[in-house]
Chains A and B, each alone.
Chain A
């Protein structure tokens, strides 16, 4: 009938969707794929064309090669420990009737929304050379700097991430299955071994891969606590800030990108397919059977210990903000708060404006993106889905360096502007908005949109009249998540900030790096208060309409 290929016809029949496809794709091409590509080009571009001399140089420098192995090693051990803690936590919260669940949940949420290097910062303050516990209370010198310190910090930092994934999986395992196993004669240990554990293994694997990606890409904690234990993230930073060697930084980024990308592919296309039950399963009617006393109180003790350490972490930040000289004089002072206002207030204002812009853009883009990918089953949606989820896996510092390499020179010069920071935030948090949009769309039956189409509404009219009103809460959730992430982000923006466009989290890292614990703690406390405040305001005003951190 028609000479035009089917693919093209699909686009022509729905120009609204085709336009949106193109817009999202172009945006991600320029602000995500191009910086990644620029890094590959930069690393392989010698004085006379194609050259791998930088890679040869990398292999010749023992320190750099070691930092790569260190990164992998740290990712491996932290993933095991964080996933284990996360699993025990998730199991206890979903399957055991222990007291204090609200408190534990609060602790986990606090960890999820706070600055990514809070644990590192407070560990130095608690267990460092002048640490409150090691120096002040015990009075013995203790070396927190190094791989063991970093391991503890990464475990505490990333177990909530593993927890979040596994709670979803454990919640979706129908308790009826456990009843069935008991009915057939299995005791509780067997029920766990034969039913709960096998069903949650894909969830555990998914969580582990997510943690591994995050540990590999983390910059703040290693910068604070790794000491002589160098990892790729800190080495790449040193290459740029210390020696201005962008080429070597690009090489390091590219080398790190390989394992990260492999983990991402494994998580997205392998493990997630193996999930037995969808996370959006219908809530079950059955009560969870009461667990044995021994199991119950062991898990309660475990969760309490972890939670108390985290409480201690935040207490030390709060204390640090008001203690005159950390490690020496713990008398009350407001000096630090006053000191950070000069630099801090404009930075906090910037962070607010940037986060509002990025959060808003992420939410709109994310919901639209999810809509066109999941509802308009047009050719090319897999590509769009891929580039909309990949930014979550790409380490922040990697994308930050990519931005400097791409937007320093024409055709698009953005360095030292506010736009580069906002755009970077949008790209990095698009997966967050996309996920919120996806969750929202899954709750709206397709037939509702089809009904609108059937009654005569085109794509645009259906979007305006039906989709947008029904996805308001998904939009709200996407906005809040992205906003919070932007407020606390550090690793990508650390390469993009200027004295004019500064942000609080890199400032805190800088202050801590120079030993200004009081000021670092004070600014952290301010930032944390703002983030927690945002979440509380949202809880109070939107109530159950916007579901956040359903953990």
Chain B
């Protein structure tokens, strides 16, 4: 595995606040990596540190194996797309895109060719003679991306570039961004607080909270196998149940979530549990099947009362009470909502154990 960017114990403080706290991780070459977390979690600080806009207080940053910690930002060859695009208002689109080539000894004819190629890739050739103020938000964003790509950066840094676009355009543009990144075989680091965007776009997601890296994984790992309560809570809707370990075998773990309520979950490799240990059990609402009839077969069925129903379009969400617990279950479609007493069955492989409370 090649590493495009490697952070070793990267730490950045602002006064008494530690914005990034000993972050250590690698970004794979040619990957699309997303830094995800709530606002103030340090993700933007980390991105800006990679670009060189902040000096680290501790730790080192490597880009393509080279220690860049002490290299000033204009010598790092990272292409950044800013949240507000930061286009030069006094330069036409062409000059905006060509700007970075001025400092790279690129011949004029070659520069023009490169600019046109980048503009072509983003479908903005017809805008080259305009000023940024004459463009729509989406067009400005494309110019900003073209400007960052044309210098053939070691890594493309995206600082919430989609947050200023309206919802529909945003979904369209993120697909396109990923397509271009694949096409060019470039490494991209993308910062967002939008978990849906992160799941949709990332090859790898780095979840951050309070300056610390909490979990690194593929979108499915992050979604279904959160390693910490924070990750489970932050991404999507999830049921978190307090549970006590009853029995562990090589294949499965039996857990008690209440009187006479025992569930069996698949054992996660590497997680060692002892008997009567208190843990948190997580399951996504869409992994719970719900019905008015008790399903055939044994185990992993809980009985409860429907307390509330919310129609959400593609799904219907049920809030079910069962002996002091509230469990959320999503059902596709469902024209006639269930009422009263229901049975919830859960797939043991979808039940995930968090070894913390």
Residue ranges of A at the interface with B (Cβ–Cβ < 8 Å): 1-2, 6, 10, 13-14, 445, 447-448, 450-458, 461-462, 465-466, 469-470
Stretch of B71-79, B195-203, B205-213 contacting A (4+ beta carbons < 8 Å): B71-79
Q: Mark B250-271, 1 if CB is under 8 A from A, else 0.
A: 0000000000000000000000
Neighbour of A445 across the interface among B52, B73, B86, B104, CB < 8 A: B86
Among A1, A448, A455, contact of B100 (Cβ-Cβ < 8 Å): A455
Which residues of A have CB within 8 Å of B89? 448, 470
**CB closest residue in chain B, given A10:** B55
Count of chain A to chain B residue pairs whose CB atoms are closer than 8 Å in the complex:
74
Q: How far is the CA of A448 from the CA of B84 in the complex (A)?
A: 9
* Residues A454 and B73 in contact, CB atoms below 8 Å apart: yes
- Residues of the A chain whose Cβ atoms lie less than 8 Å from the Cβ of B100: 455-456
Interface residues of B (CB under 8 A from A): 51-53, 55, 69-70, 72-75, 77-80, 82-84, 86-90, 99-100, 102-104, 147-148, 151
Q: Indicate the member of A10, A456, A465 with the most B CB atoms within 10 Å.
A: A456
B86 touches A457 (CB 8 A): no
The main secondary structure of chain A at its interface with chain B is helix
Known: A453-B73, A454-B51. A447 touches B84 (CB 8 A): yes
B84 touches A456 (CB 8 A): no
Are A450 and B103 in touch, CB under 8 angstroms?
Answer: no
* CB-CB nearest in chain B for A458: B74
CB distance from B353 to the nearest CB of A (A): 42
New A-B pairs, 11, CB < 8 Å, besides A456-B74, A456-B151, A461-B102 = A447-B83, A448-B87, A448-B88, A451-B87, A451-B88, A454-B51, A455-B74, A455-B148, A455-B151, A458-B72, A465-B99
Can you report 16 A-B residue pairs in the complex whose CB atoms are below 8 A from each other? Answer: A10-B55, A13-B72, A445-B84, A447-B84, A448-B89, A450-B73, A450-B80, A451-B82, A452-B99, A453-B52, A453-B73, A454-B51, A454-B73, A454-B148, A457-B74, A461-B102
Cα-based distance from A41 to B51 in the complex (angstroms): 50
CB of A452 to closest CB in B, whole Å: 7
Question: Using Cβ atoms and an 8 Å threshold, which residues of chain B touch A469?
Answer: 90
* Contact (A455, B53) CB under 8 Å given A450-B86, A470-B90: no
- Which of these, B69, B70, B80, contacts A454 with CB under 8 Å? B80
Q: Are A448 and B86 in contact (CB under 8 A)?
A: yes
Residues of A within 8 A of B69 (CB): 1
Across the interface, name the chain B residue whose C-beta is closest to A461: B103
Q: How far is the CB of A240 from chain B (nearest CB, A)?
A: 49
Q: Report which of A1, A455, A466, A470 forms a contact with B147, defined as CB distance below 8 A.
A: A455
Residue of A nearest to B73 (CB): A453
Closest 9 CB pairs of A and B: A455-B100, A456-B103, A447-B86, A451-B86, A447-B82, A454-B80, A448-B86, A453-B74, A469-B90
For A453, list chain B residues within 8 Å (CB): 52-53, 73-74
A448 to B69, CA, bound (A): 23
